[in-house]
A and B are shown apart, each in its own frame.
Chain A
Amino acid sequence: MDSFLSLGQGFLVALEPSKLLFAAVGVLLGTAVGVLPGIGPALTVALLLPVTFKLDPTGSLIMFAGIYYGGMYGGSTTAILINAPGESASVATAIEGNKMAKAGRGGPALATSAIGSFVAGTIATIGLAFLAPWLVELAVNFGPWDYFALMVLAFVTVSATFGDSPLRGLTSLTIGLMLGLVGIDKLTGQARMAFGVPELFDGVEVTTLAVGLFAVGEALYVASRFKGNPEEIVPIRGSLWMTREDWRRSWKPWLRGAAFGFPIGALPAGGAEVPTFLSYVTEKKLSKHPEEFGHGAIEGVAGPEAANNASAAGTLVPLLTLGLPTSATAAIMLAGFQQYGLNPGPLLFTENPALVWGLVASLFIANAMLLVLNLPLVGLWVRLLAIPQPWLYAGILVFAAMGTVAAKPSVVEVGMLFVCGFLGLLMRRWDYPVAPMVVGLILGPMAEAQLRRAMQMTLGDPMVFFQNPGSATLLSLSAMALLAPFVMKGLSRFRTAED
């Protein structure tokens, strides 16, 4: 019952005209960046951090969440119409959706992804509203050792378990952790890794790293492979509406997609890629028309799209209740909370319920806005795709420069942007994941703080991590998640040797 009451109060906050405006700006921006190739929600929020510094915290956070949801939505449009997934979670959609569009069924493909996203997003947000208070009650009893163990688990799953190569994922994460060391140590006031450069005393700016890796790195990478021929946009022919048959084939995949997306998003495993992929495979197995898969099966669009929106809501569960980001966008949203001096977690729910519940309520509103805005405006979004790539990436770099310079206008900062940009290029070329580095930079200092707090409380006895059931379980899970890919790789090698 508490959830209903709090949520009701949240709606009172979220329905204020100014908050509605923030939500609308967020979903429009989010859809636009989701549609455009090369920029995703993580980068957009990172660019907006310095810009929103002086704005109202609740409004800005509502806008960030709108960008997150909108980005998930917009990615599907690109995937369906030009077969270039705007973000990695739309890869599954691109397979079937683009085939549908080429067969003249682009309208129903867009419709099933939009309605599916709405259905799944709403279910997942209800899940968030009811799971969050329960998790908060649990989290109140968490000690610093539990938080530390939770963060270790997040490190491992974000970098090692779901990437192509655990070695490269862990390398990316560890360099992020190293960058997180830079700056004044909060407990003793000593400078670490600053090498006497005063600009480094405050640490490495999250905006600079994220913008460098995501925006500059991506622009350099695309430019280095640019052949000059624009992608072919499949025009939308025929009706936007779904037939009775389409509805019949879509509603179950929506629900199953939500069932995959929300729990997996809520686990400290993060990412929307796993649930979308699982949903695609499941729909293919359960479908009565398995032969259509690969040639434009509507189930293959409905399921993964629902899953990816549900996972976005799922990701907010650990972020809001534990302060634990499990995706790059969530990590940067955490930085957004921190810039207002807010720390997500159980305390935030009691200290600032208006903000937390306003944010949750705004998610329902954002979802509804996306449904209402997206289908009628699809023509506008398609026109965004027609922006010539040279201007698109030039614009992205100008905004990247703006975000960095607005955060800290110094030569050192621009120099770091330069270095991070080339690092991003190299990582893309040599197939290192970028997100773990950002997570490492944001979460690393928090993990260290929890570790030192734990060790202070036990006067330096490390056994506390193993004597405490919570942290012991989480740490053994992390160890398993860390070793699993190596063991499985070894197993598969045995198998190929036997064949």
Chain B
Amino acid sequence: MSLLAKRRADKRALVVGLALFVFAALVWRDAAAQTLSATYGIGPAAMPYVVAVALATLGLGHIVVAFRDGLPVPEHADGVAIGWIALGLVALLLCIAFGAGFILATTILFAATARAFGRRALLVDAAIGLGLGVAIHLLFSKLLTLSLPAGPLERLF
């Protein structure tokens, strides 16, 4: 490794360090806003202060590391694959938010994840996802008497 490359700070470690400082500040501010305290011993703010100090210390540690060895360099990541899974998870979120139900959500999530892993047969995968969703729904509602978010598809059963 050349000397020049070593001297430049590792950006990722800097980012983690800064994020830890932000977390520390958030925890500290939240603890300072606690109005009630304990009559004996220590109140609800004590532990947050400890955590905030720990976070700040670790943030400092990351800044030091950034100027020394840096974090391990990861392999190249396939952003498209990550995007497909993210899409599936967003679909899950929207299905829950707008009452489209669990079965539809699983169908989309299954198909999108399979796509992320390089499958091209979206319809086949969606059909498998649908089957899985129906099976889980039946297992939950009939066997375990637990409820999953219901939408138009769930009302058919």
Listed in ascending order, the chain A residues whose CB lies under 8 Å from chain B are 50-51, 53-55, 167-168, 170-171, 174-175, 177-178, 181, 185, 187-190, 192-193, 216, 219-220, 223-226, 228, 388-391, 393-395, 397-398, 401-402, 405-406, 409-411, 414-415, 417-418, 421-422, 425, 429-431, 448, 451-452, 454-460
Contacts and interface: CB of A to CB of B under 8 A. Distances in A.
Given A389-B117, A390-B114, A398-B109, A456 B41 contact: yes
A455 B54 CA distance: 21
A391 B128 contact: yes
B114 A406 contact: no
Looking at chain B's contact residues, the main secondary structure is helix
A406 B148 contact: yes
A402 B134 CA distance: 12
30 contacts: A50-B146, A54-B144, A167-B65, A174-B54, A175-B55, A181-B47, A188-B36, A190-B44, A192-B44, A193-B27, A216-B85, A219-B113, A223-B81, A223-B117, A226-B78, A226-B117, A390-B113, A390-B116, A397-B110, A398-B106, A398-B129, A406-B140, A409-B148, A411-B97, A418-B90, A431-B72, A451-B46, A452-B38, A456-B40, A456-B41
A371 B104 CA distance: 41
Contact of A394 (B41, B105, B110, B149): B110
A418 B88 CA distance: 10
Interface in B50-100: 51, 54-55, 58, 61-62, 65, 71-72, 74-75, 77-79, 81-82, 84-86, 88-90, 92-93, 96-97
B106 A401 contact: yes
Contact of B38 (A177, A187, A410): A187
Contact of B93 (A181, A415, A422): A415
A171 B63 CA distance: 13
A219 B85 contact: yes
Leading 3 A-B pairs by shortest Cβ distance: A455-B41, A390-B117, A394-B113
A229 to B, nearest CB: 10
B: interface residue count bin: 35 or more
Given A390-B119, A398-B129, A429-B77, A188 B43 contact: yes
Contact of A390 (B61, B86, B105, B118): B118
Given A193-B27, A394-B113, A430 B62 contact: no
A108 B61 CA distance: 49
A271 B27 CA distance: 30
A223 B34 contact: no
Contacts of A409: 96, 148-149
A188 B44 contact: yes
Contacts of A55: 144
Nearest to B55: A174
Contact of B113 (A53, A185, A228, A397): A397
Looking at chain A's contact residues, the main secondary structure is helix
A127 B140 CA distance: 39
Interface of B: 12, 16, 20, 23, 26-27, 30-31, 34-38, 40-44, 46-48, 51, 54-55, 58, 61-62, 65, 71-72, 74-75, 77-79, 81-82, 84-86, 88-90, 92-93, 96-97, 102, 105-106, 109-111, 113-119, 125, 128-129, 132-133, 136, 140, 144-146, 148-149
A455 B85 contact: no
Contacts of A51: 140, 144, 146
Contacts of B89: 216, 397, 414, 417-418, 421
A178 B23 contact: yes
Nearest to B150: A409
Nearest to B107: A398
A192 B43 CA distance: 12
